[in-house]
Amino acid sequence: MTEPTDADHVHAVTSRRRLLREGGALMGGAVLGGLASHAALAAPAEADAGNLPPNIPEWMKAPGEPMGSQLYGTPSPFEKGVVKNIPKDLPQYFSASGRTPLQDLDGIITPNGLFYERHHGGVPAIDPAQHRLMLHGLVDRPLIFTMEDLRRFPSQSRIHFLECSGNPVYTKPYGKTASDLVGLLSCAEWTGVSLKLVLQEAGLQKAAKWVVAEGADAAALTRSIPIEKCLDDAMLVYSQNGERLRPQQGYPLRLLLPGFEGNMNVKWLRRLRVAAEPTYSREETSKYTDLMPDGTAREFTFYMEAKSIITRPSGGQQLNTPGFHEISGIAWSGHGKIKRVDVSVDDGKSWQEAKLQDPVLTRALTRFRLPWHWDGQPAVIQSRAIDETGYVQPTLAELIAVRGDNHFYHNNAIWPWRIAAGGEVTNANA
Amino acid sequence: MPTRELFVAMLVLVGLAGATPARAQNTFGIGRPATPAEIAGWNLDIDRYGDNLPPGSGTVSHGHEVFDQQCAACHGAKGEGGVGDRLVGGQGTLATEKPVRTVGSYWPYAPTLFDYIRRAMPQNAPQSLSNEDVYAVSAYILNLNGLLPAAATLDAGTLSAIKMPNRAMFVGDPRPDVKNPDCVTDCPAPK
């Protein structure tokens, strides 16, 4: 055949793309100016010179993919290394967690496909037409809602972070990357109805002090929430970043308690029981309680305290050249807005204020940035967050001095990164 | 806006503001009543006093059989742990460098054991055990922890009456409990 048909031509273009894609995979995805991932350094940086100036790149010489080749868009194949960070070799994966690759993301919003996950009985496949929310207990009118019912209530959209309370634990080994350390953290725009409105629809009785929330998963996960939170900023959420919740995030309905530990934000929400007391479920007694060195344990430790981490440059990355590098990271507090983020580039001897990205939202991730000139010498860089209550993010040593090694939850330590003379970035606490 | 519509709109606004605490009517009229039978079918919650525990009972010896069939593969033959949590032992370790948190050493309330097993266990088939089997396997786990005699039968009354050894060790949330001095210049070297 001397003249290729259209189909053959498409095939040829696709094959060439596949080659490029595989080449890109070797390069490990992110190569950002002077900053590169380890994988990128390990592979020879042999970009096809034929696509570089003064030549005309391949992708300009033929039409690209036609409209409709992806009915739901996915990232560029060159970004296929940017995925959830899921521990290998766990004994089982039904009660497990997957982390957001914080070091590969910009801004404050976590893409839905990279939002961190924690489930206790797998991810249920729920038909929304057969899902119901039951509201009962100390109410005047016990009610059952369909999803359609819940979407009829006045809606609201707000941006909030969500963080697992075991993010990370206090004991070694400490993780290598920002994701390993605090990747059980994400932030999204949530849409739903104020829980207060729904509770008022049923009529709260005077003795109502707690609301017990239950998920429709195989763990029937149950947590008790103080009524003050339920009547403040709690939401029943059905959408995340503009689209319906993903199954991993509680489709079709979840609870959102801004600033409270992730476990309480019950997914696949099917039942709310208004009560005078907490239910003392397994999740709020044997788990999600914080053991102290003297053998006492703190219970009902809801709030996530102020915290921050530098995501760029961070562990696993590489500074390829001395000179200008922007230091960038995220800060957040369950108690409200971030007031200030300080950054140290001299192993904690001195601190300077970073610039916060506007708008600074309450109980949301706040992006901070600081211009930095790296002189090529070994350095330790770190950030600390200060929230609107004046609380200052502590060091790991300060936390352990009070809480001991076995506290497990609510570790909001500063995580310093060590930069070697060669530009390799590692966890300075490891 | 006609007067009547304005009046209705004002009523709605008053309702939204929650100005009348004991309203007889729903503000939005959304949702339908939940019947007592529907609530009874879904409400699995058992509180720390054992309220809402179902009728029925189970013996330690029957619990041993249920445990061997349903639980031992993940939790070990004697509750020593495996893929699943360790369930037995650890009493006296919580204030040491290697605390062992189990039902016997850590859990503050015994009725929670029934609640959790019934709603979530076994992990491959939750809510498949009969209430009698849940009482029995709860009895066996308590027996393995030295909290119930081998000849015992567990029911709503006896389960609620068990005092767990670690009950008094839970305290409230004292945070903020850790203070960073917020040094800006000439800061001391990190420890």
Condensed to tens digits (0 to 9), the pLDDT of residues A416-426 reads: 999 999 999 99
pLDDT score for B189: 81
Listed by start position, the domains of chain A span: 6-63, 112-298, 307-427
The model's pTM: 0.89
* Token pair listed for B63: 């619990």
Please tell me which of the candidates B39, B126, B180 has its beta carbon nearest to residue A398: B180
Closest chain B residue by Cα to residue A295 = B95
Which has the minimum average pLDDT: A39-53, A126-140, A352-366, B15-29? B15-29
Condensed to tens digits (0 to 9), the pLDDT of residues A75-97 reads: 999 999 999 999 999 999 999 99
Listed by start position, the domains of chain B span: 58-168
B111, containing H or E segment: helix B111-120
Which pairing describes strands B170-171 and A297-298: parallel, antiparallel, or unpaired?
A: parallel
Pairwise pLDDT comparison (A358 vs A36), residue with the higher score? A358
**What is the rounded distance in angstroms from the CA atom of residue B24 to the CA atom of residue B6?**
22
pLDDT score for A385: 98
| B5 contacts chain A (CB < 8 A) | no
pLDDT score for B24: 52
With beta carbons under 8 A apart, name residues in chain A contacting B172.
298-300
* Distant-in-sequence, close-in-space partners of A16: CB < 8 Å, separation ≥ 6: A58
pLDDT score for A35: 66
B187: three-class secondary structure by DSSP: coil
| B187 contacts chain A (CB < 8 A) | yes
Mind spelling out the 3-state secondary structure of chain A?
A: CCCCCHHHHHHHHHHHHHHHHHHHHHHCCCEECCEEEHHHHHCCCCCCHHHCCCCCCHHHCCCCCCCCCCCCCCCCHHHCCCCCECCCCCCCCCCEEEECCHHHCCCCCCCHHHCCEEECCCCCCCCHHHCCEEEEECECCCEEECHHHHHHCCCEEEEEEEECCCCCCCCCCCCCCHHHHHCCEEEEEEEEEEHHHHHHHHCECCCCCEEEEEECCCCCCEEEEEHHHHCCCCEEEEEECCEECCHHHCCCCEEECCCECHHHCCCCEEEEEEECCCCCCHHHCCCCCEECCCCCEECCCCECCCEEEEEECCCCEEECCCEEEEEEEEEECCCCCEEEEEEECCCCCCCEECEECCCCCCCCCEEEEEEEEECCCCEEEEEEEEECCCCECCCHHHHHHHHCCCCCCCCCCCCCEEECCCCEEEECCC
Mean pLDDT score of chain A, rounded to an integer? Answer: 91
Mind spelling out the 3-state secondary structure of B5-60?
A: HHHHHHHHHHHHCCCCCCCCCCCCCCCEECCHHHHHHHCCCCCCCCCCCCCCEEEH
Mind spelling out the 3-state secondary structure of A312-336?
A: ECCCCEEECCCEEEEEEEEEECCCC
pLDDT score for A255: 98
With beta carbons under 8 A apart, name residues in chain A contacting B83.
91-92
At the top level of CATH, the class of B58-168 is mainly alpha
Which pairing describes strands A355-356 and A366-374: parallel, antiparallel, or unpaired?
A: antiparallel
User: With an 8 Å Cβ cutoff, are B30 and A201 in contact?
Assistant: yes
Condensed to tens digits (0 to 9), the pLDDT of residues B47-88 reads: 999 999 999 999 999 999 999 999 999 999 999 999 999 999
Q: How far is B53 from chain A (nearest CA, A)?
A: 13
* Distant-in-sequence, close-in-space partners of B178: CB < 8 Å, separation ≥ 6: A394, A398, A399, A401, A402, A403
Q: How far is B124 from chain A (nearest CA, A)?
A: 9
pLDDT score for A87: 93
Strand partners, A330: A309, A367
Which pairing describes strands A185-194 and A222-226: parallel, antiparallel, or unpaired?
A: unpaired
User: With an 8 Å Cβ cutoff, are A134 and B38 in contact?
Assistant: yes
User: With an 8 Å Cβ cutoff, are B119 and A94 in contact?
Assistant: no
A-proximal residues of B, 149-168, CB under 8 Å:
166
A-proximal residues of B, 12-31, CB under 8 Å:
18, 22-23, 26-28, 30-31
Please tell me which of the candidates B31, B97, B166 has its beta carbon nearest to residue A145: B31
Which has the minimum average pLDDT: A18-22, A400-404, B96-100? A18-22
Residue A55, pLDDT > 60, answer: yes
With beta carbons under 8 A apart, name residues in chain A contacting B12.
none
* Token pair listed for B88: 């037995």
User: With an 8 Å Cβ cutoff, are A350 and B112 in contact?
Assistant: no
Domain A112-298 has CATH 3.20.20.100: no
User: With an 8 Å Cβ cutoff, are B179 and A395 in contact?
Assistant: no
Closest chain B residue by Cα to residue A389 = B176
With beta carbons under 8 A apart, name residues in chain A contacting B127.
220
**What is the rounded distance in angstroms from the CA atom of residue A17 to the CA atom of residue A78?**
11
**What is the rounded distance in angstroms from the CA atom of residue A234 to the CA atom of residue A274?**
14
* Distant-in-sequence, close-in-space partners of B7: CB < 8 Å, separation ≥ 6: none
Domain A307-427 has CATH 2.60.40.650: yes
| B97 contacts chain A (CB < 8 A) | yes
With beta carbons under 8 A apart, name residues in chain B contacting A271.
42-43
pLDDT score for B27: 86
With beta carbons under 8 A apart, name residues in chain A contacting B28.
152-153, 197, 201
Query: Could you give the ipTM of this predicted complex?
Result: 0.88
Closest chain A residue by Cα to residue B52 = A279
